[in-house]
Amino acid sequence: MGEHILRRTRDRGRAETFALGLDAAAIDSRVDREGGEWQVVVDEADAQAASQALEGFDEEVEAAAVVPLPRPMEPPSWLGPCVAIALLAGYLFTGPVDDHNRWFGPGAALSSRILAGETYRAVTALTLHAHFAHIFGNAVVAFVLLGALGQALGAGVAGLLTLLAGALGNLATARWYGPGHASIGASTAIFGALGLLTAPGAWRRASRWPAWVAVGASLALLGMLGSSRESDVVAHVCGWMVGLMLGLVAGRLPGLHSRVVQFASGVLAVGTLVGAWALAVR
């Protein structure tokens, strides 16, 4: 009896896998190489039985050969370092809180003025800090959190949503306290970034850990960083909650990583800051 070439393939591993399948069916075979191909050869008498044994086996081998590659992570984001540098540069320009400092009067988040319609203060207050330790702590945390958030959502979108979370958090804080409350500092926005990272939509892009790990870590950070004696706990909680809600929405929006969306978001964030200060010092 002659021999029958049952399969031809350029992949030696696939040919050997076919041969193993035939061995499992108690059919003798061998793998030969001819030219640039590998051949699975059986006796002519076993050809029909071998074909039946490999029915459906091609699909199984094909499926086994296709190993899904892990989705590559987004490249490291420059948002964290840029925001940290911008915060430090802003502090060098405005200086610490002082009775004679001309920036704090028009820019601080005074709840009475915000409730009277000066909502731009919810934005300008994010750029003012009481002293060096205040700005340094915020800059360090911003470096870490916004770097991760920028990697998850893209720098432009992450920057805009963080600014929005901080501003809305300040507005909510003013509503909570009513007239008589004052607030400054970027920490409300930073806790907004923490809330954004906690949202499952953003977290899935940033890490393979389950979402509950992000929530637990976020609440722990909220407790450690946001509840010191000098901290405005209400503002921190408001910023975190707004960030969480924004993250839940953003995580379901398509096309966030397109260059147009990222660029437009970045321009809008910078324009909002500039416009708020223009209203404050007009």
Contact (Cβ atoms closer than 8 angstroms) between residue 126 and residue 235: no
Phi and psi of 183, rounded to 5°? -150, 140
Tokens of 195: 């809330």
Instruction: Please give the average per-residue pLDDT across 178-190, as a whole number.
Output: 91
Place of tokens 């081998």: 61
pLDDT at position 41 is: 87
Structure pTM? 0.69
- Domains annotated on the chain, with CATH: 3-65 (3.30.70.1530), 79-281 (1.20.1540.10)
pLDDT digits (tens, 9 = 90+) for 74-95: 566 899 999 999 999 999 999 9
Contact (Cβ atoms closer than 8 angstroms) between residue 197 and residue 138: no
Place of tokens 């969306």: 261
pLDDT digits (tens, 9 = 90+) for 108-124: 999 999 999 999 999 99
Output the average pLDDT for the chain.
Answer: 82
pLDDT digits (tens, 9 = 90+) for 198-257: 876 554 554 444 444 455 555 555 555 544 555 678 888 899 899 989 988 887 777 778
